[in-house]
């Protein structure tokens, strides 16, 4: 699978690798992804992840996410899955789990402890990936954040919806995939005035050379820097407003702070 723009992983808390190498000890991949040959039986089989020889290592969440599963698998032993947007990352062969099902986590937060080894599996929208590609993307995001002027993305920007921030983030975890899917297949279209406003903002941004102030990356594909923050905030407000408009029209879902009059208006305009 090739990485596309929709596969960009956004995380308010930043990014980190699943574990840190201990001083004086290089961690090696003990089993790769894909077709493998059993050293004992000689039979070929498909390995749905990658394994590391890391005994009793503390494991971290790699971004903002929510624990989507904790269990005991016949092949993976004690395992834990965490959903990061459309990604789901599974840690297997664990000796202990510190973040339970439904718990929200942030980048760098300790979530588990490996056993005699560690298995990592990755899926995007349910489709299996080679975890090395995902980890490479993570590393690129981490390096991008270390660049001078990097300011993060998405909900880390100040918006007109700060008082409802937590509720909007929860709604996004639940409904954002449906919103994107409906946009792609034409089941929902941006209101004309919203689309026109976005076109104006991006035209103005290009004219003022707001884009590519920093080196573009998976974490910051337009290379936005401090100069572009006012423009980015306007875009953020428009997109959140349209997302809430979509929820009202397609799912009859509203923010808990919305009054009756606001609900009526949201059915006709964002």
pLDDT tens per residue, range 102-143: 999 999 999 999 999 999 999 999 999 999 888 888 887 777
Shared-domain flag, residues 197 and 259 = yes
Q: Tokens standing for 76?
A: 């993976």
Shared-domain flag, residues 128 and 170 = no
In this prediction, residue 175 has a pLDDT band, given cuts at 50, 70 and 90, of confident
Shared-domain flag, residues 18 and 55 = yes
In this prediction, residue 247 has a pLDDT band, given cuts at 50, 70 and 90, of very high
Shared-domain flag, residues 134 and 162 = no
Kindly give the pairing relationship between strand 29-31 and strand 50-52: antiparallel
Number of separate domains in the chain: 2
- For 100, the domain range is 5-145
Please, what is the average pLDDT of the chain?
83
- pLDDT of 269 higher than 50: no
154-186 exposure pattern, b = at least 16 Cβ within 10 A, e = fewer? bbebebebeebeeebbebbeebeeebeeeeeee
In this prediction, residue 92 has a pLDDT band, given cuts at 50, 70 and 90, of very high
Residues 180-185 have a mean pLDDT of: 84
Shared-domain flag, residues 262 and 162 = yes
Shared-domain flag, residues 125 and 221 = no
Last residue of a domain, one of 119, 145, 171: 145
Residue 176: per-residue pLDDT: 80
Residue 260: per-residue pLDDT: 56
Secondary structure class of 61 (helix, strand, coil): coil
Shared-domain flag, residues 107 and 162 = no
- pLDDT of 64 higher than 90: yes
40: domain CATH number is 2.70.70.10
**Residue 103 and residue 82 in contact, taking contact as beta carbons nearer than 8 Å:** no
Residue 213: per-residue pLDDT: 65
- pLDDT of 60 higher than 70: yes
Shared-domain flag, residues 194 and 216 = yes
Chain centroid to CA 234:
22
Q: Facing residues of 239 across strands?
A: none
Backbone angles phi, psi at 137, to 5 degrees: -60, -45
Shared-domain flag, residues 9 and 141 = yes
Secondary structure class of 235 (helix, strand, coil): helix
Judged by average pLDDT, the poorest of 58-72, 134-148, 252-266 is 252-266
Of residues 233 and 60, which shows the higher confidence score?
60
Shared-domain flag, residues 87 and 165 = no
Shared-domain flag, residues 79 and 202 = no
- pLDDT of 150 higher than 50: no
Q: Which pTM value belongs to this model? A: 0.55
- pLDDT of 33 higher than 50: yes
Last residue of a domain, one of 93, 115, 145: 145
Which of 107, 136, 177, 154 has the alpha carbon at shortest distance from 3? Answer: 136
Last residue of a domain, one of 87, 120, 145: 145
Shared-domain flag, residues 57 and 114 = yes
Which of 121, 112, 117, 136 has the alpha carbon at shortest distance from 50? Answer: 121
Q: How far apart are CA 205 and CA 222, in angstroms?
A: 11
């Amino acid at each position: 699978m090739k990485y596309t723009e929709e596969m960009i992983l956004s995380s308010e808390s930043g990014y980190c690798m699943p574990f840190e190498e201990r001083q004086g000890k290089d961690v090696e991949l003990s089993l790769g992804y894909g077709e493998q040959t059993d050293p004992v039986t000689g039979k070929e089989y498909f390995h749905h992840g990658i394994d590391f020889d890391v005994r009793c290592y503390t494991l971290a969440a790699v971004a903002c996410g929510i624990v989507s599963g904790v269990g005991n698998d016949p092949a993976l032993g004690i395992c834990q899955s965490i959903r990061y947007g459309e990604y789901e990352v599974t840690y297997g062969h664990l000796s202990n789990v510190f973040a339970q099902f439904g718990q929200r986590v942030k980048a760098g937060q300790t979530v588990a402890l490996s056993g005699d080894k560690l298995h990592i599996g990755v899926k995007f929208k349910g489709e299996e990936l080679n975890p090395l590609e995902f980890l490479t993307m993570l590393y690129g995001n981490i390096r991008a954040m270390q660049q001078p002027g990097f300011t993060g993305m998405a909900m880390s920007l100040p918006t007109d919806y700060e008082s409802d921030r937590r509720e909007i983030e929860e709604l996004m975890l639940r409904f954002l995939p449906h919103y994107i899917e409906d946009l792609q297949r034409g089941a929902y279209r941006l209101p004309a005035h919203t689309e026109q406003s976005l076109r104006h903002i991006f035209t103005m941004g290009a004219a003022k050379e707001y884009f590519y102030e920093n080196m573009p990356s998976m974490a910051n594909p337009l290379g936005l820097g401090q100069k572009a923050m006012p423009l980015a905030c306007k875009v953020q407000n428009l997109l959140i407003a349209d997302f809430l408009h979509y929820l009202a029209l397609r799912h009859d879902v509203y923010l808990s702070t919305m009054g009756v009059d606001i609900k009526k208006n949201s059915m006709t305009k964002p």
